[in-house]
Amino acid sequence: MPIWSPSPLALRRWRRFKEHRRGYHALWIFAVLLAFSMAAELLANDKPLLIYYQGQFYFPLWKSYPETVFGGDFVTEADYKDPYILEKLRQSPNWLLFPPIPYSFNSIDSQLNHPAPAPPAGRHYLGTDDRARDILARLIYGFRLSVLFALTLTLIGTVTGILAGAIQGYFGGRTDLLLQRFIEIWGSMPELYLLIIFSSLFNPSIFILIVLLSLFGWMSLADYVRAEFLRARAMAYVKAARAMGASDRAIMFHHVLPNTLTPVITFLPFRISGTILALTSLDFLGLGVPPSTPSLGELLQQGKANMEAWWISLSAFTVLVTMMLLLNFIGEALRDAMDPRKES
Amino acid sequence: MSTPLLEVDNLWAHFQGESGRIEAVRGISLAVQPGETVALVGESGSGKSVAALSLLQLLPANASVRADAIRLQGADITRLTGEPLRRLRGQQVAMVFQEPMTAMNPVYPIFRQLAESFAPEGVPGTRQDLQALRRRAVELLAMTGISDPEQRLDSYPHQLSGGQRQRVMIAMALARRPQLLIADEPTTALDVTIQAQILELLARLQKELGMAMLLITHDLPMVYKVASRVYVMRQGEICESAGTESLFHRPRHPYTRQLLASLPASHSPPRPAQAVELLRVRDLRCHFPIRRGLLQRTVGHVKAVDGVDFTVRRGETVGIVGESGSGKTSLGEAVLQLNESQGGLLFDGLDLYAADRLALRGLRRRIQVVFQDPFSSLSPRMTVEQILAEGLLIHRLESSAVGRRRRVEAILAEVGLPVEHLDRYPHQFSGGQRQRIAIARAMILQPELLVLDEPTSALDLSVQAQILTLLRTLQVRHGLAFIFISHDLRVIRAMAHEVLVMWRGKIVEQGETETIFERPQHAYTQQLLAAAMHV
Dist. CA B305–CA B504, nearest whole Å: 8
Q: Give the phi and the psi of residue B406 in degrees, each rounded to 5.
A: -65, -45
Query: Smallest Cα–Cα separation from B233: which of B37, B47, B15, B464?
Result: B47
Looking at chain B, which residue has its C-alpha nearest residue A5?
B423
Amino acid identity of residue A211, one-letter, is V
Pairwise pLDDT comparison (B428 vs B317), residue with the higher score? B317
- Residue A25 — pLDDT band, cuts 50, 70, 90? very high
Residue B535, pLDDT above cutoff 60:
no
Question: Model confidence at A34, in pLDDT bands (50, 70, 90)?
Answer: very high
Q: Which of B357, B376, B408 to mutate to test the interface with A (most CBs of A within 10 A)?
A: B376
B203-241 pLDDT, tens digit per residue, is 888 888 889 999 998 888 888 888 999 999 988 899 999
Rounded mean pLDDT of chain B? Answer: 86
Which residue from B416, B408, B415, B414 is spatially nearest to B382, judged by alpha carbons?
B408
Select the residue of A237, A244, A246 nearest B376 (Cβ to Cβ): A237
Record: contact A259-B380, CB cut-off 8 A: yes
- Identify the top-confidence range among A70-74, A121-125, B497-501: B497-501
Question: What is the spatial distance between Cα A97 and Cα A52, in angstroms, rounded to a whole number?
Answer: 9
- Nearest CA of chain B to the CA of A303: how many Å? 50
Asked if the C-beta of B379 comes within 8 angstroms of chain A's C-beta atoms, the answer is yes
Q: Which distant-in-sequence residues (6+ apart) come within 8 Å of A308 by Cβ? A: none
B447 pLDDT more than 90: yes
Q: Looking at beta carbons, which residues of chain A come within 8 Å of B333?
A: 239
Write the residue in A243, A258, A344 that is nearest to B338 by C-beta: A243
Q: What is the mean pLDDT of residues A27-40?
A: 93
- Asked if the Cβ–Cβ distance from A244 to B378 is below 8 Å, we say no
Closest to B190 measured CA to CA, from B329, B97, B323: B323
Chain B's closest residue to A259, CA to CA, is B381
List of chain B residues whose C-beta atoms are within 8 Å of the C-beta of residue A244:
364-365, 368, 390-391, 394, 441, 445
Smallest Cβ distance to A245: which of B18, B361, B427?
B361
Mean of pLDDT values over A285-297: 85
Interchain contact B438–A (C-beta under 8 A): yes
pLDDT of residue B1: 52
Res B369: pLDDT:
93
Using the beta-carbon criterion (under 8 Å), do A239 and B361 form an inter-chain contact?
no
Question: What pLDDT does B320 receive?
Answer: 94
In chain B, residues with a C-beta closer than 8 Å to the C-beta of A242 are 338
* pLDDT, tens only, B332-370: 999 999 888 888 899 998 898 888 888 888 899 999 999
Give the closest-approach CA distance of B425 to chain A in angstroms.
8
Q: Which residues of A touch B425 (CB under 8 A)?
A: 7-9
In eight-state DSSP terms, residue A70 is G
Instruction: Please tell me the distance in Å from A249's CA to the nearest CA on chain B.
Output: 12
The runs of H, that is alpha helices, within B144-253 are: 149-152, 162-174, 192-209, 220-226, 244-249
* Chain A positions in Cβ-Cβ contact with residue B361 (cut-off 8 Å): 245
Q: Check pLDDT > 80 for residue B121.
A: no
Task: State how far residue A236 is from chain B, nearest Cα, in angstroms.
Answer: 4
pLDDT at A165: 93
pLDDT band at B411 (very low <50, low <70, confident <90, very high): very high
Residue B419: CA count within 13 A, CB half-sphere: 9
Q: Residue A16: pLDDT above 90?
A: no
Asked if A236 reaches chain B (Cβ–Cβ under 8 Å), the answer is yes
Q: Could you tell me if B513 and B335 are in contact, meaning their C-beta atoms sit under 8 angstroms apart?
A: no
Task: Of A175-184, A304-313, B13-22, B440-449, give the lowest mean pLDDT range.
Answer: B13-22
Note whether A8 contacts B: Cβ–Cβ < 8 A.
Answer: yes
A with B: how many residue pairs have Cβ under 8 Å apart? 67
Q: Label the pairing between strands B212-217 and B37-41.
A: parallel
Q: Which of A239, A256, A264 to mutate to test the interface with B (most CBs of B within 10 A)?
A: A239
Q: Chain B within 8 Å of A177 (Cβ-Cβ)?
A: no
Residues of chain B with Cβ-Cβ distance to A254 below 8 Å are: 390
Closest Cβ–Cβ partner in A7, A236, A344 for B377? A236
- Tell me which residues of chain A, numbers 254 to 313, contact chain B at a CB-CB cutoff of 8 Å: 254-255, 258-259
- pLDDT of the residue at A2: 47
Q: Hey, of A20, A237, A248, A265, which one would you mutate to test binding to chain B, going by the most B CBs within 10 A of its CB?
A: A237
Give B415→chain A minimum CA distance, Å. 18
- Residue of chain A nearest B18, judged by CA positions: A342
- For residue B531, which of B47, B101, B193 has the smallest C-alpha distance? B193
How close B336 comes to chain A (CA, Å)? 6
Which positions 76-135 of A are in contact with B (Cβ < 8 Å)? none
Residues B284-335: tens digit of each pLDDT: 998 888 777 766 777 778 888 888 999 999 999 999 998 887 888 899 999 9
Q: Return mean pLDDT, chain A.
A: 87
Partners of A241 on chain B (C-beta within 8 Å) are: 390
- The burial of A185, by beta-carbon neighbours within 10 Å (0-12 exposed, 13-18 middle, 19 or more buried), is given as exposed
Interface confidence (ipTM) of the complex: 0.75
Question: For residue A328, which phi and psi values (nearest 5 degrees)?
Answer: -70, -35
Is the pLDDT at A3 greater than 70? The verdict is no
Option in A237, A246, A342 nearest B394 (CB): A246
φ/ψ of residue B320, rounded to 5 = -115, 115
B394 chain-A contacts, CB cut-off 8 A: 244-246, 250
The beta-carbon neighbor of A259 closest among B379, B427, B428 is B379
What residue in B sits closest to A245 (Cα-Cα)? B361
Could you say which DSSP state residue A251 is in?
A: I
Q: Does B364 touch chain A (CB under 8 A)?
A: yes
CA B180 to chain centre: 25
Q: Do A259 and B381 touch (CB under 8 A)?
A: yes
* CB-based contact B381 A7, cutoff 8 Å: yes
Beta strand ranges found along chain A (DSSP E): 50-53, 56-58, 95-97
From A8, A237, A242, residue closest to B378, measured CB to CB: A237
Closest chain B residue by Cα to residue A242: B338
pLDDT at position B125, please?
66
B443 and A CB contact within 8 Å:
no
Q: Do A258 and B379 touch (CB under 8 A)?
A: yes
Q: Chain A: nearest CA to B483, how far in angstroms? A: 15
Query: Which of B465, B473, B376 lies closest to B426 in space, CA to CA?
Result: B376
Query: B400 to chain A nearest CA, in Å?
Result: 15
Q: How close, in Å, is residue A58 to chain B by CA atoms?
A: 54
The nearest alpha carbon in chain A to B361 belongs to A245
Q: How many angstroms away from the CA of A156 is the closest CA of chain B?
A: 25
Query: What pLDDT shows up at residue B102?
Result: 76
B286, with CB counted inside 10 A (0-12, 13-18, 19+), is buried
In a 3-state reduction of DSSP, which class is residue B168? helix
How buried is residue A41: exposed, middle or buried, by Cβ count under 10 Å (0-12/13-18/19+)? middle
With beta carbons less than 8 A apart as the criterion, state whether A27 and A140 touch. no
**pLDDT band for position A220 (cuts 50, 70, 90):** confident
pLDDT, mean of residues A80-108: 85
